[in-house]
Amino acid sequence: MNQISTRDRTTADAAKTASPDTISPGSSKADSPGRASAKRRSYLRPILMIGGIAVVIVGTGYYWLTGGQYVSTDDSYVEAAEVNATTDISGIVSKVLVHEGQAVKQGQKLFQLGQLHFKIALDGAKAKLAQTVLDFSAMKGDYQRMLKDADTARAQVADDQANFNRFASLIHNGGVTRAEYDNAKYKLAADQANLAALEEQAKTQLAKIGGDINEPVEKFPAYMSAEANVAEAQRELDHTTVYAPFAGIVTRVESLQPGQYLTASASAFGLVATDDVWVTAQLKETQLNYVRIGQPVKIAVDAFPGRKWMGVVQSIAPASGSQFSLLPAENSSGNWVKVVQRIPVRIRITSGPKDVRLSAGMSAEISVDTGHQRHLSDSF
């Protein structure tokens, strides 16, 4: 029995130390799934590595080929037409007809200055115009009188000439004395001088009324000047009432109060348009290769996430924003550094949500559909 046990242990130890090729059939079946799994992993590893690289290459290529169609930037802001309501005359504010944040229509009254002073000025200008008409009629009458006086003087000169001629023929034979001849001569000369003076006065009077006695009063220079004064007085009276130049919303209305003296051209309060609203995008100069006027644009406003507006490229500025700055960049200096410039692009809003209102100054993001398609040849 002891001999048999010793032989069995020796056999078992030999089996444990045997090589894999001499493993018994029973033990080979137990180890075969792990060896197959290891073989599969060794096959999949290079496939996954090569496939991953291929996916990255294909994805990058697709992104590059389709990425040239859209140009986007978040350096964009909503803008609107705005104006400081004011007038070109000075006066005391009598009425403020709107309140803060009120929406107004084009042509709606905003505020009014006191009108009494301007009405008095208009009445005075009209009175001067009427006086000018009377003066013109009187000047015409004076001209007619001067013509008659000249005719009378001309007749007197003719009579004096006849008497002088007669005395001149009689003086040689003693028919008249030398004194009578001299008196007739001097009277003729005096009346001739008087006639010349009257004719000159008539010419001067005719020039004052325009050179033509039949000229209407409307062409009389003094009348036109007085009429212009009436028009100016009427304009100033009309400008005592200030109207909205476009539809919009008024702001800073509290800065204007009744009884306040408003000087000419001084700002009363602001008016921001609600209809004339656009987006100004500051695109890099390198992004403008394929941007053209009329291309569609998608607009997203930070204040209203999830809302979208549509627009079109309305204009591209002919100069960069730095060209209009108070102190433009000096590129001729020795420490010059090249910086990518921004070109303002104006985008007209064509459609969008109607239940929200865009305010000037809001931040926006835009994406311009240039329609450009890249090709593989562009990368070479």
| Residue range 5-28, pLDDT digits in tens | 444 444 445 444 444 444 444 444
| Residue range 175-193, pLDDT digits in tens | 788 888 889 899 999 999 9
pLDDT at position 13 is 52
> Percent of the chain scored above 90 by pLDDT?
58
> Percent of the chain scored above 70 by pLDDT?
82
pLDDT at position 63 is 67
C-alpha distance from residue 335 to each of 329, 330, 331, 364 (Å):
12, 10, 8, 35
- Please, what is the average pLDDT of the chain? 85
CA distance 60 to 42: 28
Average pLDDT over residues 335-361: 89
Average pLDDT over residues 314-341: 78
Average pLDDT over residues 241-260: 94
For the chain, give every domain's residue range. Answer: 70-114+243-325+339-374, 116-236
Q: Fold for domain 70-114+243-325+339-374?
A: Elongation Factor Tu (Ef-tu); domain 3 (2.40.30)
Residue in the block written with tokens 């803008």: 79
Would the CA dihedral through 283, 289, 292, 297 be positive or negative?
Answer: negative
CATH architecture group of domain 116-236? Up-down Bundle (1.20)
At position 272, the amino acid (one-letter code) is V
